[in-house]
Amino acid sequence: MALYLHGYDNVAMYDGSWTEWQQDATTPKDDVATMLARSPGQPQ
């Protein structure tokens, strides 16, 4: 949501991510460590 609030226009929200993605064993997932390694330098 913050991306919208910051005024970005090209954002699509996936509002099923909390359950739908999790419940489907076939959806490709990364674990947290992989995600964090990909995401350095976040704003603090």
- Residue list 20-39, contact with other proteins (CB under 8 A): 20-24, 27-32, 35-36, 38-39
Q: Which amino acid, residue 13?
A: M
CB of 18 closer than 8 Å to CB of 24:
no
- Residue list 1-20, contact with other proteins (CB under 8 A): 1-20
> Which two structure tokens, joined as six digits, stand for 3?
């991306």
CB of 37 to other proteins, least distance (A): 10
Question: What residues line the site for other proteins (CB under 8 A)?
Answer: 1-24, 27-32, 35-36, 38-44
